[in-house]
Structure 1
Amino acid sequence: MNILLTGATGFVGKRLVDQINDQGVHVLTCAVRRSGSAKYGHEVLVDGLHADTDWSSALSGQPEVVIHAAARAHVMKDEVPDPLAEYRKVNVEGTLHLALQAAKAGVSRFIYISSIKVNGEQTPKSKPFTVENVPTPQDPYGVSKLEAENGLLEIASETEMEVVIIRAPLVYGPGVKGNFASMIKLVEKGLPLPLGAIHNKRSLVALDNLVDLIITCVDHPAAANQVFLAGDGQDVSTTELFCGVAQAMGKPACLIPVHAGILMFGARLLGKQTVAQRLLGSLQVDISKTRKILGWEPPLTVEEGLRRCFVSENEC
């Protein structure tokens, strides 16, 4: 099967390129902005992801499937005057423009990598997000991903192109950046942290688990026009996560047990409620629909996924 991949140079895209080529089942074309930036496979140059992008060259190879992993990524401290407008230019207008051209070119399936931020930012403990929940995105990034999802489902209803949407929570793996990378640095420094008594629950997804799910959706007949939630199927507390990272690194976890209420109170005094919420709050994802419809199980446990964060590319 011929596949066109966008976002081939990103965190998820790079691993997709590796896995698709290693399997040798599909023929991969990578849409890139600079020649030689994708590791393997045929490349085709495009001038970005926006409402005027010309995708004719990328679609001229008649791909049956488009995996759309490119996006304007979530920015913690966005300094642009209107963040939502900037997200919409890429994540909504750019995505729907590509999807319309793909449908006209005869693409049979469009796989969209979305975000659990479409559902929201927090769940009550033991009440995970499901696909059936009414979406309540809390930031411009989440809003843009929801708008793109809605637009894609509308295109699917008006054309013969199937759409598959995958919402992922925090993705971790070799080369991870953002908050997870910051956590790794804290563990590396070995400084005592007041996070030894946090009993929240967070859903994560190992990079290889997410990639395996995406590849499963390439040709699974039951995936057509479905929304799936991704995850490891194993939720962890912040305390458990720090301990797991430390164990994977072969370092001691220097965690001091401090009650979460005290930490939240201190965070409010310092104006750090958002940071505290990520560390102390719960965000759980129910992947039972994904398992049932696709017969899919995450190949890696959390422990295995964490160990892979600290191996070289050649060892993966």
Structure 2
Amino acid sequence: MRVLVTGENSYAGRQFEKRISERNGEWQIEFISVRNHEWKTNDFSSYDAIYHVAAIVHQKERKENEELYFEVNRDLTYELAVKAKSEGVKSFVFLSTMAVYGLIGKIGENTIISKETNEEPTSCYGRSKLEAEHKISSLQSSDFLVSILRIPMIYGYGCPGNYSALRKLAKKTPVFPKVNNRRSLVYIDHLSDLVQYLIEARKSGLFLVKNPDDVNTLVMVNEIALNNSKKIYNSILLGFLIKFFGNNFSVTRKMFGNIYYEKGDSEIDGFIYSKISFKESIEASEKVKLK
């Protein structure tokens, strides 16, 4: 199997390559930069699949860069898919996002996302990804399989973005609010395994992707601290304050709110998760070094 990954330095792409090399040495994983127009001269005909992970993300959204989100996340995605289909690529796997729903989650209330939940993105990132989904879905055929993966927060060793911020907090803070919540997350190896399965099994469609079990932020922070030889005091008083006032602020809702995928709608026919427990995934995220 020969797979082309967009984004030469993409976290999800490089971790996919690492995971595949550990599990299936016969696969060929290659990378292409899409920062300029040189990719348009490449021949895609020798590839079985394209894993499109390159995107504008983790940037503060401003009026000046709004257009860039749509140029990269929507228009570039569609151009890549059109070229892939015209040159005989069989599968196109697109890394989308939970942000297409525009939901944050509330503290003390459950926000459950299913395949029937309306998409109402509130950010340029979410809107551009949703519009990309609509455009590439129109290319679906028996010879060109389109897989759309709506992922929540990714975590794993060296992961940028929200996980990086959370681990920095866990390594520094002596105290953390005792608030029990439930959030869908995805460990990078679970994501990579799923991508491999979708390409191998020639699957297509819309997939709500998450770990087998949802995660409590408090448990996650404690596990990160533990793996860094640190202990955090879990404060009932701070937890009470968060429960009482937290829904007034998006930053506390994002950290302590409840938002997760409906379990039945996140199950994928034929796919079996690797037996990596949550504790093991955090241990690997904190201690395993990349090659």
In the superposition, the TM-score normalised over structure 2's length comes to: 0.89
Cα root mean square deviation, aligned: 2.4
Runs of at least 5 residues in structure 1 that lack an aligned partner in the other structure: 33-45
Answer yes or no: is the 8 Å Cα contact 2:148–2:207 preserved in 1. yes
- CA separation of 1:299 and 1:126: change in aligned 2, threshold 3 A: farther
Aligned equivalents of 2:215 and 2:182: distance in 1? 5
Aligned to 1:11: 11
Q: Partner letter of residue 210 of structure 1?
A: L
How far does residue 276 in structure 1 lie from its aligned partner after superposition? 1.2
Aligned equivalents of 1:188 and 1:248: distance in 2? 10
Aligned equivalents of 1:192 and 1:127: distance in 2? 27
Aligned to 1:86: 68
Aligned equivalents of 2:48 and 2:153: distance in 1? 29
126, 135, 158: which one pairs with 1:142?
126
Runs of at least 5 residues in structure 2 that lack an aligned partner in the other structure: none
Does residue 176 (structure 1) correspond to residue 130 (structure 2)? The answer is no
- CA separation of 1:292 and 1:263: change in aligned 2, threshold 3 A: closer
- CA separation of 1:121 and 1:261: change in aligned 2, threshold 3 A: farther
Aligned equivalents of 1:126 and 1:233: distance in 2? 18
Aligned equivalents of 2:187 and 2:10: distance in 1? 15
Answer yes or no: is the 8 Å Cα contact 2:171–2:224 preserved in 1. no
Higher relative contact order (CA 8 A, sep 6+): 2
Aligned to 1:65: 49
Answer yes or no: is the 8 Å Cα contact 1:118–1:143 preserved in 2. yes
Aligned to 1:227: 206
Aligned to 1:43: none
How far does residue 19 in structure 1 lie from its aligned partner after superposition? 2.0
Count of matched residue pairs: 288
Sequence identity (%): 24
How far does residue 296 in structure 1 lie from its aligned partner after superposition? 2.6
Q: Match of 1:283, SS?
A: strand
Q: Deviations over 1:53-76 (max 9, x none)?
A: 64331515x21211111111132x
How far does residue 219 in structure 1 lie from its aligned partner after superposition? 1.7
Equivalence map 1:15-94=2 (5 Å): 15-22=15-22, 23-32=24-33, 46=34, 48=35, 54-60=39-45, 62-75=46-59, 77-78=60-61, 80-94=62-76
Q: Deviations over 1:105-130 (max 9, x none)?
A: 01111000111111332357455212
Aligned equivalents of 2:245 and 2:267: distance in 1? 40
Q: Deviations over 1:51-109 (max 9, x none)?
A: x564331515x21211111111132x33x424432210100001000100111101111
Aligned to 1:204: 185
Does residue 185 (structure 1) correspond to residue 168 (structure 2)? The answer is yes
Aligned equivalents of 2:263 and 2:197: distance in 1? 15
- CA separation of 1:215 and 1:129: change in aligned 2, threshold 3 A: same
Aligned equivalents of 2:31 and 2:148: distance in 1? 20
Aligned equivalents of 1:110 and 1:313: distance in 2? 30
Aligned to 2:271: 295
Q: Partner letter of residue 20 of structure 1?
A: I
Q: Deviations over 1:30-56 (max 9, x none)?
A: 113xxxxxxxxxxxxx5x16xx56433
Aligned equivalents of 1:267 and 1:123: distance in 2? 11
Q: Partner letter of residue 4 of structure 1?
A: L
How far does residue 244 in structure 1 lie from its aligned partner after superposition? 2.2
Aligned equivalents of 1:295 and 1:307: distance in 2? 24
Answer yes or no: is the 8 Å Cα contact 2:111–2:258 preserved in 1. no
In the superposition, the TM-score normalised over structure 1's length comes to: 0.82
- CA separation of 1:88 and 1:7: change in aligned 2, threshold 3 A: same
Aligned to 2:226: 247
Answer yes or no: is the 8 Å Cα contact 1:168–1:231 preserved in 2. yes
Aligned to 2:147: 164
Question: Which stretch of structure 1 is more off in the superposition, 135-144 or 178-187?
Answer: 178-187
Q: Match of 2:51, SS?
A: strand
Does residue 106 (structure 1) correspond to residue 82 (structure 2)? The answer is no
Answer yes or no: is the 8 Å Cα contact 2:210–2:266 preserved in 1. no
Q: Partner letter of residue 208 of structure 1?
A: D
Q: Match of 2:95, SS?
A: strand
Aligned equivalents of 1:298 and 1:104: distance in 2? 35
Q: Match of 2:259, SS?
A: coil
